[in-house]
Structure 1
Amino acid sequence: METHLRWTRRPHRLVRLLVAILGGLSLAVGITGLAHADPTPGEIEKQIDDKWNQIEPIIEQHNQLKIELAANKTKQNKLEAQIAPLREQVDAAFDKVSAFAVMQYKTGRISKLDAMLTTGSPDTFINQMTMLNMLAKDEQARIQDVITAKEEYDSQKAPIDELVAKQAEQEAALAQQEQKINADIKTLNDMRMKAYGSSGGTGNLRPVACPFEYTGGPGAKAAQVACAQIGKKYVWATEGPNTFDCSGLTLYAWKQAGYTLRHYTKWQYQDTKRVSRSDLKAGDLVFFYSDLHHVGLYVGGGWMVHAPNPSAPVQMKKIDAEPISGYGRVA
Structure 2
Amino acid sequence: MPLHRHVQGQPPARRAGLRRAARRLITVVAAVVVGAGMLVAPAHAAPSPEEIEAAIDKQWEQLEPTIEQYNKVRAQLKKDRKKAEELQKKIEPLALQTELALNRVGDMASRYYMTGPSQELGALLVSAKPDTLTEQLTYLDRLAAQERRDLQVVIDARAKFDAEKQKLDVLIAEEVKQEKELAAKKNQINAEIKRLQASMPKTSVKVAGCPTINGVVSSAARTAIRVACQQVGDPYVWGATGPNAFDCSGLTQFAYRAAGISLTHFTGAQWNEGKAIPRSEARPGDLVFFFSDLHHVGLFLGGDLMVHAPRAGKPVQVANINHMPVAGFRRPG
Q: Does the 8 Å CA contact 2:73/2:182 hold for their aligned counterparts?
A: no
Distance 1:95 1:276, change over 3 A: closer
Over residues 253-294 of structure 1, what are the superposed CA-to-partner deviations in whole Å (9 max), with x where a residue is unaligned? 122223222221122111222222232222111100001111
Q: Give 1:91's match in structure 2, choosing from 99, 116, 130.
A: 99
Q: How far is the alpha carbon of 1:81 from its aligned partner?
A: 2.5
Distance 1:135 1:37, change over 3 A: farther
Q: Is structure 2 residue 75 aligned with structure 1 residue 67?
A: yes
Q: How far is the alpha carbon of 1:325 from its aligned partner?
A: 0.3
Q: Does the 8 Å CA contact 2:289/2:296 hold for their aligned counterparts?
A: yes
- Structure index of larger Rg: 2
Distance 1:37 1:65, change over 3 A: farther
Q: 2:56 maps to which residue?
A: 48
Q: How far is the alpha carbon of 1:152 from its aligned partner?
A: 4.0
Q: How far apart in 2 are the matches of 1:121 and 1:156?
A: 44
Q: Which runs of 4+ in 1 moved over 6 A?
A: 119-122, 128-133
Q: 1:293 maps to which residue?
A: 295
Over residues 23-79 of structure 1, what are the superposed CA-to-partner deviations in whole Å (9 max), with x where a residue is unaligned? xxxxxxxxxxxxx99554344323422332222222222222222222223223323
Q: 2:13 maps to which residue?
A: none
Q: Does the 8 Å CA contact 1:97/1:135 hold for their aligned counterparts?
A: no
Q: Does the 8 Å CA contact 1:295/1:306 hold for their aligned counterparts?
A: yes
Q: Does the 8 Å CA contact 1:240/1:249 hold for their aligned counterparts?
A: yes
Q: 2:14 maps to which residue?
A: none
Query: Aligned to 2:319, what secondary structure does the other structure show?
Result: strand
Q: 2:210 maps to which residue?
A: 210
Query: Aligned to 1:243, what secondary structure does the other structure show?
Result: coil
Q: 2:126 maps to which residue?
A: 123
Q: How far apart in 1 are the matches of 2:106 and 2:223?
A: 68
Over residues 203-227 of structure 1, what are the superposed CA-to-partner deviations in whole Å (9 max), with x where a residue is unaligned? x322xx5134333532233222211
Q: How far is the alpha carbon of 1:167 from its aligned partner?
A: 3.5
Q: How far apart in 2 are the matches of 1:163 and 1:151?
A: 18
Over residues 147-178 of structure 1, what are the superposed CA-to-partner deviations in whole Å (9 max), with x where a residue is unaligned? 32542464355345324412432233323442
Q: Does the 8 Å CA contact 1:69/1:164 hold for their aligned counterparts?
A: no
Q: How far apart in 2 are the matches of 1:104 and 1:132?
A: 14
Q: How far is the alpha carbon of 1:228 from its aligned partner?
A: 1.0
Residue type of the alignment partner of 2:89: A
Q: How far apart in 1 are the matches of 2:112 and 2:257?
A: 68
Q: How far apart in 2 are the matches of 1:244 and 1:95?
A: 56
Q: Is structure 2 residue 266 aligned with structure 1 residue 259?
A: no
Q: How far apart in 2 are the matches of 1:89 and 1:132?
A: 26
Q: 1:245 maps to which residue?
A: 247
Q: 1:200 maps to which residue?
A: 204
Q: Give 1:317's match in structure 2, choosing from 310, 314, 319.
A: 319
Distance 1:154 1:50, change over 3 A: farther
Bigger shift: residues 131-140 or 58-67:
131-140
Distance 1:179 1:322, change over 3 A: same
Task: Tell me the C-alpha RMSD between the 2 structures.
Answer: 3.4
Structure 1 portions without partners, runs of 5+: 1-35
Q: How far apart in 2 are the matches of 1:170 and 1:330?
A: 28
Bigger shift: residues 174-183 or 263-272:
174-183
Bigger shift: residues 44-53 or 133-142:
133-142
Identical-pair percentage: 40
Q: How far apart in 1 are the matches of 2:142 and 2:238?
A: 66
Q: Give 2:89's match in structure 1, choosing from 78, 81, 99.
A: 81
TM-score, structure 2 as length reference: 0.72
Q: How far is the alpha carbon of 1:138 from its aligned partner?
A: 1.4
TM-score, structure 1 as length reference: 0.72
Q: How far is the alpha carbon of 1:181 from its aligned partner?
A: 1.9
Q: How far is the alpha carbon of 1:238 from its aligned partner?
A: 2.1
Q: How far apart in 2 are the matches of 1:182 and 1:157?
A: 37
Distance 1:69 1:210, change over 3 A: same
